[in-house]
Each structure stands twice: as structure tokens, then as C-alpha cells.
Amino acid sequence: MATAHDVAAAVLSHVGQVTAMKLQKLVYYCQGWHLARTGSPLFADAIEAWREGPVVPQLYRHHRRQLHVSEWPLGDASQLTDDQQESVRWVAREYGRFSATELSDMTHNELPWRAARGPLPESASSSEPLNIELMRTYYARQIANTETAVVLATANASIEGEEFDQDWQDRLRDVASGVVSAEELIAEEIARLRGD
């Protein structure tokens, strides 16, 4: 099994230099999404519910007092399997554009960190480990097949008073299946509304 050090090295190979806090959050999301997709942990090292969000203490001990991290000599990205590499690539692509603060805020709004902290205020220190099974089920619930995603989006729009015709539902299927990005669909709709 890969270690958190191997995952950190793999993350940095995709995103380049980042703050230590951002590295921690990206490694956390790698673990969560890999659990959701495969049912197995990416690494065995504990993740704790610190004030700033999820932190892998094993990594913290080595980047402590560093603001930025650009390489991780303690890890070896080649130790990751193809499935593990794909999880890291996906997280780097989907979450890499967010700042450390944005990632921290996102984790504060998610069940795994909140459950580990219990009634503690956000400003309180904690070293409570996150529950790996809760992480797996939480992120697995975020994954929906294409048809389920379209049905949910259509139902949510209906609640808001909007109706998605069949053409829109087909375009949503394109987004859900990765044929077109959400940004491209929005740009197309803006152009259509402008008459471009």
C-alpha cells in the first residue's frame, strides 16, 4: 500500500509548488475520493480533524514551519498503482485550482471533519482521527451515474421554478458524462441568449 508520503509526492508532481496547508487538503481529498471510488484506502496513515481542517500528522512532521512545498523526497509517486494515480490526477485537476483557505473552508462544511470534531468549536484544537468508513460513505454518496445526475438536476431546477426541456437534459447528460464541461455549457447558453 502507498503511504501518505507517496501520495504527497504524487500530488506535487501534478500541481507543483503549493502551500503546506493546500498539500494537506489535497492529500485528504485524494484519500476520500479514492475510498469512494474503490472502497479501499489510498494510504493507512491517520488523518486528524485539526482546526484548519483535515491534517495527516505524518506529513505535518516533515513540512512543519514551511510555508510552501514543491517536492516530497520522503515519498515516491511510482509506488502508486494506476487506480491510485488516477485518483490523485482527478483530485489535482478538480481541487488544484482552489486556494488553501478555500479547501480548508470546504472541508469544514463536510461531514467527515465535522463528525470527528463533534461539539468542539471551529477554533478549538483537536487531534481526533477522521473515521475512514465515514469518509468512504460520504464521498461515495457524492458520486452519481449520468441518469441520476440529470434526474436530480432536473428535479432541483423544477423546485426553483425552471423546467429543463429534453434538449437541456441531453446537454446535462453531456456534462455528467464528461463530453463537455459545465463551463463550456454555460458559455454556450450565454452565447445563445445573446444571439451570438
The per-residue pLDDT for range 5-18, each reduced to its tens digit, is 999 999 999 999 99
The per-residue pLDDT for range 28-42, each reduced to its tens digit, is 999 999 999 999 999
CA neighbours closer than 13 Å in the CB half-sphere of residue 102: 6
Q: Where are the domains of the chain?
A: 4-140, 146-194
Please report which helix (H) or strand (E) contains residue 164, including its range: none
Alpha-carbon gap, residue 53 to 59, rounded angstroms = 14
Q: Give the pTM.
A: 0.77
The per-residue pLDDT for range 47-59, each reduced to its tens digit, is 999 999 999 999 9
The per-residue pLDDT for range 114-129, each reduced to its tens digit, is 999 999 998 999 999 9
